[in-house]
Amino acid sequence: MDGILLITVLVIAGGAIAFIGDRLGTKIGKKRLSIFGLRPRHTSIVITIFTGVVITALTFGVMAAASQNVRTALFGMEQLNRSMRETKQSLQNAEEALLTAKSEQEKTDAALQQSKADIDKLNQQQQELQAESARLQAGNEALLADNSELSARNGELSSRNEELAGRNSDLTAKNENLTADNKALEERSNKLRDGLITMREGDIAFRAGEIIASGVIRGNRPQEEVAADLASLAALANRNVSTRFGQDRSDQDIWIYRPEHDAAVETIAKSPQDMVVRIVAAGNLVRGEDVRTNLELYPNSIIFRNNEFIIARPYEFETGDDSEAEETVMNFLKDVNFAATTKGILPDPLRGTVGVMEGAQFYDVVAKLKGQRGRVILSAYANGDTDASGPLRLKINVEKNVTQ
């Protein structure tokens, strides 16, 4: 409403001034007046210009006097622009501060969540510690009770220990007496053993467990035939005893426990495969005593075929002299013996060996090893088919290892 009133006033004032100026210019023109020595025509133009200036000045004056916004627009525009720039800068700073505050708020929220999680975890740990403390407290009370009981028992044990200490002194004295008696008995036993060995050393022909005779009896046959083969094997054992004693024992057969003999015959007759039968000395056989024996039965089969590989071993030779070569062959034969017994060949009860090797063959292998340097491979092969009863005859190859 103030704006409409202002415009109305300005229109009326402008019209009035224009009218006055027109009338003044007309009157001056008619009277041909002159101002500042100008011609009347030019004076009329000056009056018209002055009237326009007055109208403009009056318009701005009235507007400035009537409106603060007009005054600001006319005289305070630069300050207004500066204020707007400062306000805009303040707004940007406030927005940046707001973003920073939001970021800090998010970090604070995350830290708060982590703190809550840590607090929950600590609360859980505290509960566990409280439960553990309660268990430890109960255990401590139980230990205290046990400690009291142990203290009482310790007193009892102390008294018993004193009693045992006295008895221990008595036992120590008795032990010393027994030790002296034991030494005396050992000396007497050694003397008796030496005397017995001296008395019987020259008369022992077979030692306990030594094989007197062995052979293979076919299984899955009538018991009569098996008994006949076993009798033949017993006759062979009797001849071996006679040969070893150097006397004729035709009037005295070896002694085999009858139930053991009958059980062996029945086992062989029912066996689907051949059996190795060994007649071994039940004890040391001495001249003039009964020849008591035991029967040992083992299933028989072909363990190694002719030329079948048995074992191979590498050896490092440093000097290649006789002693090193002989020791190497002996160690290799031990490995062969172990491999053969593992596979099923029956070893000699006393010596534990399963094979035979002539002296010429042994020294031939030793001769091949003499002077060797570096790695040499020894390999053993079966010399003929060999069953469980043995003996295992060998072929030994000596090869220089060229890949070392």
279 and 335 assigned to the same domain: no
Structural domain includes residue 137: no
382 and 324 assigned to the same domain: yes
Structural domain includes residue 190: no
Per-residue burial over 31-62, b = 16 or more CB atoms within 10 Å of its CB, e = otherwise = eeeeeeeeeeeebbeebeeebeebbeeebeeb
Which domain range does residue 353 map to? 303-400
Q: What's the residue count for the chain?
A: 404
Structural domain includes residue 153: no
Structural domain includes residue 118: no
Structural domain includes residue 116: no
331 and 292 assigned to the same domain: no
Alpha helices by DSSP H, 201-313: 223-245, 258-270
326 and 295 assigned to the same domain: no
pTM above 0.85, yes or no: no
49 and 66 assigned to the same domain: yes
309 and 396 assigned to the same domain: yes
Q: For 302, list phi and psi in degrees, rounded to 5.
A: -75, 120
Structural domain includes residue 294: yes
Q: For residue 277, what are its two tokens?
A: 């039968």
396 and 307 assigned to the same domain: yes
318 and 391 assigned to the same domain: yes
Last residue of a domain, one of 300, 332, 359: 300
Q: Where are the beta strands (DSSP E) in 105-254?
A: 204-206, 211-217
213 and 282 assigned to the same domain: yes
- Alpha-carbon distance of 169 to 122, in angstroms, equals 64
Structural domain includes residue 144: no
Q: How many structural domains comprise the chain? A: 3
315 and 283 assigned to the same domain: no
- Alpha-carbon distance of 247 to 138, in angstroms, equals 89
Structural domain includes residue 156: no
Give me the tens of pLDDT residue by residue for the chain, a chain 404 residues long. 456 766 676 677 677 777 776 776 677 666 666 666 666 667 777 777 777 777 777 776 776 676 666 666 666 667 777 888 888 888 888 888 888 888 888 888 888 888 888 888 888 888 888 888 888 888 878 888 877 787 777 777 777 777 777 777 777 777 777 777 667 766 766 655 554 454 445 456 677 777 888 888 888 889 898 888 888 888 888 888 777 766 555 445 678 888 888 888 888 888 888 888 888 888 777 666 677 888 888 888 888 888 888 888 888 877 667 777 888 888 888 888 888 888 778 777 777 776 667 777 778 888 887 777 778 888 888 888 887 777 888 888 888 765 54
